[in-house]
Structure 1
């Protein structure tokens, strides 16, 4: 099995991402188009994508260049961490309302306000990753997701503790 991991194209970096529903910037659309062209010779058996707008847009642009895969799965299981009330909030406003609250400042079991903890995020991605790799008889799979998700997958692949 070959699994291709793709982070969505460039989005608005002036806001807190997470479960933000903002779409791609023009540069992100261009990046997705170029990647789609590079991947055009691969006949993917399945595509898994986060269902957040920026990942869906990336997936659809890539798809426009591909031989259609047999199956496409849009899922909330591949979303970035649920950052609750901070999702899509401008950085300045987030710092004003939640001073010093960043992913790296959370304790492993500490949740974002109305969101999830790094531990819950890790468990969600770990469970879905195991489902993808154990329940598939596919040869080539494309996963379009987010940087944090890919980071967890790399930890899983390399048997490195995620803390």
Structure 2
């Protein structure tokens, strides 16, 4: 049983991310298409049967490019969104710095929410719950393995800490997670573990 975590393609710079409704730039679409082609040409290696994605536009656009090449219809879920940054979502950086000076992901207290959003602890708990639910669904064969999950850098970073049995906070060091990178999880005797990290051969 495997789960392939994929970060969405490149999106617009200069705006706050989180629950932004902004989509990919052309390069991000191209990255996603190249990943789709790579997965198609290496289908015997990956054996993907299920595609799940965050329902935010940048993840949806990435998943759609993969869907077209694997002929698998995706399931789009709010559970796998990036952290909810509330009023700052999609806001131009300059405007955010004026209206919400000093308010960044890593300056919040663990229980301090973004204005109109969620706190880092809420975010962590949401992703841990979503991941455990996904693993249970795969193990109980409610969802067919192997699963490709298109999500966000912050989400994948939390899963590195969770599966490494390391304490996570919003000031923890961020793992290398490139746009359209693939991070492979396998179910073994010790449970779910990473077997491949930040694979980006399709962009080489």
Per the TM alignment, residue 67 of structure 1 is displaced from its structure 2 partner at its CA by 3.8
The answer to which of 12-21 and 40-49 deviates more is: 40-49
Residue 110 of structure 1 aligns to a residue whose secondary structure is coil
Match of 2:121 in 1: 119
Deviations 1:77-117 (CA, angstroms, capped at 9, x unpaired)? 00000000000000111001011110000000000000000
Q: Where does residue 13 of structure 2 map in the other structure? A: 13
Give structure 1 regions of 4+ aligned residues with deviation exceeding 3 angstroms.
none
Please give the root-mean-square deviation of Cα atoms over the aligned residues, in Å: 1.1
* Mapped contact 1:24–1:54 kept (Cα < 8 A): yes
Query: Is 1:140 matched up with 2:146?
Result: yes
Give the equivalent residue in structure 2 for 1:161: 167
Per-residue Cα deviation, 1:27-79 (whole angstroms, up to 9, x for no partner):
0000000111111114422111000001000000111111426xx32110000
The aligned length equals 161
Show the counterpart of 1:50: 54
Report the TM-score when normalising by structure 2. Answer: 0.76
Q: Give me the TM-score of the superposition, normalised by structure 1.
A: 0.95
- Conserved 8 A contact 1:18-1:83: yes
Stretches of structure 2 that go unaligned for 5 or more consecutive residues are 170-204
Q: How far apart are 1:139 and its partner, in Å?
A: 2.8
Q: The residue matched to 1:65 in structure 2 has which SS? A: helix
Unaligned runs of 5+ in 1: none
| 2:14–2:92 contact (8 Å) kept in structure 1 | yes
Name 1:36's counterpart in structure 2. Answer: 36
**Aligned partners of 1:93 and 1:155: how far apart in 2?**
32
Equivalent-residue separation in structure 2 for 1:162 and 1:127 (angstroms): 15
